[in-house]
């Protein structure tokens, strides 16, 4: 699979879709942000810079301050692939984020989403 297209997509172009997906199901932008902060180690200011600079996904994950040590607990299928079996590390991180946003939209409790 050629993942180049996904890598070069700006995070800012996808971020509103994450929020929209969550809000349609009665969740909030703050919860989406909390997931992003938990997964990547970014804070609010850094996230706003990423959005403002139209940073691509490859750079977004390459510069993440610290991937959460509990990411190995994120399992399941997203877009037809088991996230724990994706060999391409950048694509795996993208799918981790997709999976967490899906769990939020499906009404899962934040403690479970954040693997507490």
Distances (CA, A) of 109 to 16, 57, 103, 113: 21, 26, 8, 6
Q: What is the pTM of this model?
A: 0.94
The ranges assigned to domains in the chain are 4-113
pLDDT digits (tens, 9 = 90+) for 72-82: 999 999 888 89
What was the pLDDT predicted at 6? 86
Measured between its terminal Cα atoms, the distance across the chain in Å is: 33
Query: Per-residue confidence at 13, pLDDT binned at 50, 70, 90?
Result: very high
Architecture of the domain defined by 4-113: Orthogonal Bundle (1.10)
Rounded to whole angstroms, the Cα distance separating 27 from 10 reads 23
Question: 30 forms bridges with which residues in the sheet?
Answer: none
Residue 73 burial (CB count, 10 A):
11
Tokens of 62: 């390459």
């Amino acid at each position: 699979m050629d993942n180049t297209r996904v890598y070069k997509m700006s995070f800012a172009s996808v971020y509103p879709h994450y929020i929209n997906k969550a809000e349609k199901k009665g969740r909030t932008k703050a919860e989406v942000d909390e997931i992003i902060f938990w997964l990547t180690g970014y804070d609010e200011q850094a996230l706003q810079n990423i959005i403002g600079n139209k940073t691509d996904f490859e750079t977004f994950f390459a510069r993440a301050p610290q991937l959460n040590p509990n990411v190995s607990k994120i399992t399941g299928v997203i877009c037809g692939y088991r996230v724990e079996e994706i060999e391409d590390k950048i694509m795996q991180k993208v799918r981790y984020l997709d999976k967490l946003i899906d769990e939020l939209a499906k009404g899962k409790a934040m403690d479970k989403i954040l693997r507490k």
